[in-house]
Amino acid sequence: MNDLGRLRVRDLSVTFRVPGALVRAVSEATFEVRPGRCLALVGESGCGKSVLAHALLGLLPANASVRGRAWLTCGEQPAEPVELIGAPQAVLAGKVRGRAIGLIPQSPATHLTPVRTARAQLREAVRELRSHATADELAARFGLRPEELDRYPHELSGGMAQRVANAIALAGDPWLVLADEPTGGLDRSLVDRTMATLRELCDEGRAVLLITHDLRAAERVADDLAVMYAGRLVETGPVAEVLGRPRHPYTAGLVAAQPDRAFVPVPGLPPELTRLPPGCAFRPRCGRHTERCATVPAMDGGVACHHPLGGRHA
């Protein structure tokens, strides 16, 4: 794989205009995904993780407004990065989707054509994207037997449908894989197998942006971690550091909620994205908040918090 690839995202914001309200789904997200590395984006359901991924591919509905920038550099255009935000659909469809970026979608059953077998759909992806691998080879990588490819989507279990979607995402030999909850509906053994495959992709020189709420899976496969709360990144850094010594109170709450830890849920509920509280959105759930938290904290040293853990609680 080409070692010049990189995804850079700067101040990416996504809002949706709905009747009587504005949904602030993503707010000023900044991060990079580099070759040979996996960045895991974690957070509670509804915090904007999937919206961010779809914004990069131009797959948002017409009522979405996207600001900020995202550049993709890969082997085909090493000197001229592709600007993803605002790119024409012809560019995204012809150069990016499936070719430079492969998407493993959430709820894969809704992405499969119901009247065609899994084999037919995987073969079509192989043909259109000019893959060097066969449908059976791609399927085998995710634990699918050849006879399972001859089933229609309604005959597939949720786990099988997820594995078909995973195989289709790799058909074009993409440099970057956006994996949106790729382990949904899978038992633990298949979760481990899928995570191992994503790790192999990184070890081959590709990059992976993993969207998940499974901290155990993220810890196994990721190099770097980005924690999102109410549409905003609140902590970033190497996965071992973030999970081993969390500095944001929300990150600490996610870690403590794991079965192998205190198994205590984060108190309270996330705010509605149409009615975000002023300042730090985590303030209503945080026992460390002060008057300073009425202003939005900047990302400083990998944490966006006025009173990070390990620092002075003023």
Domain spans in the chain, listed from the N-terminal domain onward: 1-35+45-87+217-314
Per-residue pLDDT tens digits for 94-123 = 999 999 999 998 878 778 999 999 999 999
pLDDT, tens digit, for every residue of 122-134? 999 999 998 888 9
Highest CATH level, class, for 1-35+45-87+217-314: alpha beta
Q: What is the Cα–Cα distance from 80 to 228, expressed in whole angstroms?
A: 30
Which class for 147: exposed (0-12), middle (13-18), buried (19 or more C-beta within 10 A)? exposed
The first and second tokens of residue 74, run together, are 């890969």
Q: Where are the alpha helices (H) located in the chain, listed in sequence order? A: 49-56, 89-91, 118-128, 135-141, 158-169, 188-203, 215-221, 239-244, 249-256
By three-state DSSP, how is residue 167 classified? helix
Nearest to 253 by CA among 218, 296, 301, 215: 215
pLDDT band at 1 (very low <50, low <70, confident <90, very high): very low
Task: Give mean pLDDT, residues 235-242.
Answer: 97
Alpha-carbon gap, residue 281 to 275, rounded angstroms: 10
Overall average pLDDT of the 23-31 stretch: 98
Neighbours of 75 (CB within 10 A): 12
113-126 as b/e: b if 16+ CB within 10 A: eeeebbbebbbebb
Per-residue model confidence (pLDDT) at position 312: 40
